[in-house]
Amino acid sequence: IQSTIADYATAAQLAAEAGFDGVEVHSANGYLLDTFLQSSTNTRTDAYGGSPENRVRLLKEVMDAIVANGAFPANRIAVRLSPNGAFGDMGSDDNDTMFPYVA
At residue 32, the pLDDT reads: 95
How do residues 82-99 score in pLDDT, each as one tens digit?
887 767 677 788 889 999
Tell me, what amino acid is at 86? A
Catalytic residue positions, numbered: 31
**Average pLDDT of the residues in 28-32:** 91
SS3 content of the chain, % helix, strand, coil (to 5): 50, 10, 40
Partners of 49 in beta bridges: none
How do residues 59-84 score in pLDDT, each as one tens digit?
999 999 999 999 999 999 999 998 87
How do residues 35-59 score in pLDDT, each as one tens digit?
999 998 999 999 999 999 999 999 9
Phi, psi of 6 (to 5 degrees): -60, -35
